[in-house]
Structure 1
Amino acid sequence: MACPEVITGSVVIPGEDYERIQRAAANGQNLWRLSPVRTAQEVGTIHLGLRTNDAYTFVEQYRDTDSGLMHAVVRVKHRSCTYLVELYQPEQQGRGGIWVVESIREA
């Protein structure tokens, strides 16, 4: 693998409390959580070995028919590697709902 510093697979951030994060966003804090691209960037940089200056591109957004949850995909160009970051909205769907990283995989 060309970019061993990047963590791939399912993503679980210890201590991430979606309800609390949603409340904070509703109160105007951590507004980056309302953007799938910014969430991929922030979470990816802090937890997953990505860099702030990697190229983050919004790919698509869709509603999962089984769960009813909104999902988004962000493509990240990191050095010679390309990754797809899958995100979803665990608390509130659509505008005003926070985004959470679900997984990251090589494109």
Structure 2
Amino acid sequence: MPCPEVVTGHVAIPGEDFERIQRSVDRGQNMWRLSPVRTAQEVGIVHLGLRMNDVYTFVEQYRDADSGLMHAVVRVKHRNCTYLVNLYQPQKQGPGGIWVVESVTEI
């Protein structure tokens, strides 16, 4: 495994309260949560072993037909490894909704 410091698989951040995070964004705090790329960066650096100087690229955004939730994919180039960070909007769908990291997959 070339990049063992990076957490892969399903992501659950201890103490991450989606309602509380959405309320803080509604009040103008933690506005990075409105961007899938910035969320992948912030959460990735603090919790998942990614780095600020990794290359973060927005890949796509789509609505899941079953759940109705918006999802996004961000590709991260970390050293000699490449990951897909999958995010979704658990509270509000669309421009005002927060993004959270759901999973990280090495490609």
Q: TM-score range with shorter-chain normalisation? A: over 0.9
Q: Deviation above 3 Å: which 4+ runs of structure 1?
A: none
Residue 91 (structure 2) aligns with: 91
CA-CA distance at 1:61 after TM superposition: 0.1
Residue 78 (structure 2) aligns with: 78
2-structure distance, mates of 1:53, 1:35: 18
The one-character-per-residue Cα deviations of 1:46-99 (angstroms, maximum 9, x if unpaired) are: 000000110000000000000000000000000000000000000000011000
1:27 aligned partner, one-letter code = R
Superposition pairs for residues 1-107 of structure 1, below 5 Å?
Answer: 1-107=1-107
Q: TM-score, normalised by structure 2?
A: 0.99
Note the residue ranges of structure 2 that are not aligned, 5 or more in a row. none
1:66 aligned partner, one-letter code = D
Aligned residues with identical type, % of pairs: 79
2-structure distance, mates of 1:20, 1:35: 17
SS in 1 for 2:82: strand
Note the residue ranges of structure 1 that are not aligned, 5 or more in a row. none
The one-character-per-residue Cα deviations of 1:14-35 (angstroms, maximum 9, x if unpaired) are: 1100000000001000000000
